[in-house]
Amino acid sequence: MDGQVALVTGGSTGIGLAVARRWIAEGGVVALVARTEAKLLEAVTALGNDRAAAFPLDVGDLRALEKLPALVFGRFGRIDLVVNNAGVHHRGPLLELPPAQLAEMILVNLTAPIVLTRAVAPLLRPGSAIVNVASLAGMVPVFQAAGYSASKAGLRAFTRAAAEELAPAGIHVGAVSPGPVDTGFFGDASRVTPMTFSQPMSSPEEVADAVLRCARERRPEIALPWASGKLATLGYLSPWLSRTLRPLLEKRGLRNKQRWLERHGL
């Protein structure tokens, strides 16, 4: 990875920051993108100003996002990996969420990665990669997460279609679809559904490893945990099975959620 440059959105915390740490540990350089400048600068300082650079940006600002790749390329002279990781999840039943929050999930989780992919692709050389961080919720829709599930399902579909279009240029496009990840992305944990907690939780570092593996091995998609990915595939192929298993999974998830809340003093 010596000298290779990764552009990572949502890079100041969680999965994005874990990807940056892994990339730098292997000799790479990172362009970190995040909305909150103070957190972003703090992350860059911790990573080392000689190995990371801050690009404060709200990916929901599509005009600014379109100009981002040129700024990164102008700074480093190359881009080898793009990780579309920035995301938002407004939790709750469909009819309890304001329309603007539903629209924001589509904008940040789906439209922004599409725009960034289109803007950065002409600057990528053969052998480079784009990895989109999707979700198991994009493999099988999650109860009371309609907007989020739709945004991640759309991202998976875009990934597959873009992979075919960009393959002749030697650019790999893949996805990593994790289940629950133990980061601050949970927000108000009381609003997280038991179904979310029904699956084993991954660490940001485990997801980061999957992102780099997806890029290196040119994998179309990596779901994790592995068993949860297989269960999600079965649930998608058989809606009846999904409906049948849901009460059992929710019961297990409720127990796991209580343990998680207690462990975090909540």
What residues are annotated to the active site? Answer: 148
Share of the chain residues as helix, strand and coil, in percent rounded to the nearest 5: 60, 15, 30
Helix axes 37-47, 14-25, angle to 10 degrees: 20
Identify the DSSP state of 145. Answer: -
**Residues 124, 169: contact at Cβ < 8 Å?**
yes
Looking up tokens 């890029």, which residue turns up?
215
CA 115 vs CA 71, 139, 200, 217, 227: distances in Å: 15, 22, 32, 25, 32
User: Which token pair is 2?
Assistant: 């010596």
**Residues 151, 105: contact at Cβ < 8 Å?**
yes
Which residue in 174, 182, 74 sits closest to 134, CA to CA?
Answer: 174
CA 167 vs CA 58, 163, 171, 207: distances in Å: 29, 6, 5, 24
Edge-to-edge strand list for the sheet holding 221-224: 52-56, 29-34, 5-9, 81-84, 129-133, 172-178, 221-224
C-alpha to C-alpha distance for 45 and 101, rounded to whole angstroms:
33
C-alpha to C-alpha distance for 260 and 242, rounded to whole angstroms:
24
